[in-house]
Amino acid sequence: MGIDFDLARTKMVDNQIRTTDVTSHAVLDAFQSVAREEFVPSNFRALAYIDDDIPIATDGGGRPQRYLMEPSPLAKLLQLADVRKDSVVLEIGCGTGYASALLSLIADSVVALECDEALAGQAAETLSRLGYDNVAVVTGDLEAGYPPEAPYDVIMIGGAVEELPRVLFDQMRDGGRLVVVEGHGNASRANLYVREGGYTAPRHGFNTSVKPLPGFAKAETFVF
């Protein structure tokens, strides 16, 4: 007997997302609508709705390097970002495009930035095949953002970072919001940055632990 992915998706929303203080109808409806199984490697398809990160790319030694974020923190980040129907969104680290699809249902348009060309190609193919036509997948260094389409109403960083590049603040519209997980492991937390009058101020969102994105390491400092 095959897996009932529609039922699994409903259970994910009810048991993994609603129970973690996610109350936004737009976010809940997006998670209920997007077929998560389409955005994971074929060997993980049966595990698409587990309450955990799923490997989507490996390094040269075969070790997991990139992950599809587990549903609960992803949903809480989307809620924290307060994405609106007229929002232009920059998603940094789109991976296979799952969060891009979610954002496409909530926002006006999405620029999905990915540094791994293979993942970017996969994301673009899947999003196009499934009809998420308001998403544009682009490639480049994640920490540089994507200035050509700036300014953005929302910037969402799809993984933990050690250091947040200030250049990203310059790509935010006045009144814009940036959501990011900063720190390591269980010591990390999700923060919301709001830009007003040319200044950007942080607000604490919630404590969480998600896998890191490449390219956001702290610069080495010299100790004398």
Q: Supply the DSSP symbol for 103.
A: H
Listed in sequence order, the residues at least 6 apart from 170 whose beta carbon sits closer than 8 Å to its beta carbon are 150
**Mind listing the pLDDT tens digit for each residue in 9-42?**
999 999 999 999 999 999 999 999 999 999 999 9
pLDDT score recorded for residue 43: 93
Token couple for 33: 């609508």
Listed in sequence order, the residues at least 6 apart from 35 whose beta carbon sits closer than 8 Å to its beta carbon are 5, 9, 130
What domains lie within the chain, and their CATH numbers?
5-207 (3.40.50.150)
Give, in order, the Cα–Cα distances in Å from 193 to each of 8, 37, 81, 104, 181.
34, 32, 9, 21, 11
Q: What share of the chain is helix, strand, coil (3-state, %, to 5)?
A: 35, 30, 35
pLDDT score recorded for residue 218: 76
Lowest mean pLDDT among 30-44, 62-76, 93-107: 62-76
- Residue 86 pLDDT exceeds 60: yes
pLDDT score recorded for residue 1: 61
**Mind listing the pLDDT tens digit for each residue in 110-153?**
999 999 999 999 999 999 999 999 999 999 999 999 999 999 99
**Mind listing the pLDDT tens digit for each residue in 48-60?**
999 999 999 987 6
**Residues shown for the chain:** 224
pLDDT score recorded for residue 21: 95
Mean pLDDT of the chain, nearest integer: 94
pLDDT score recorded for residue 191: 97
Confidence of residue 215 (pLDDT cuts 50, 70, 90): confident
pLDDT score recorded for residue 203: 94
**Mind listing the pLDDT tens digit for each residue in 155-205?**
999 999 999 999 999 999 999 999 999 998 777 899 999 999 989 999 999
pLDDT score recorded for residue 141: 96
SS3 47: helix
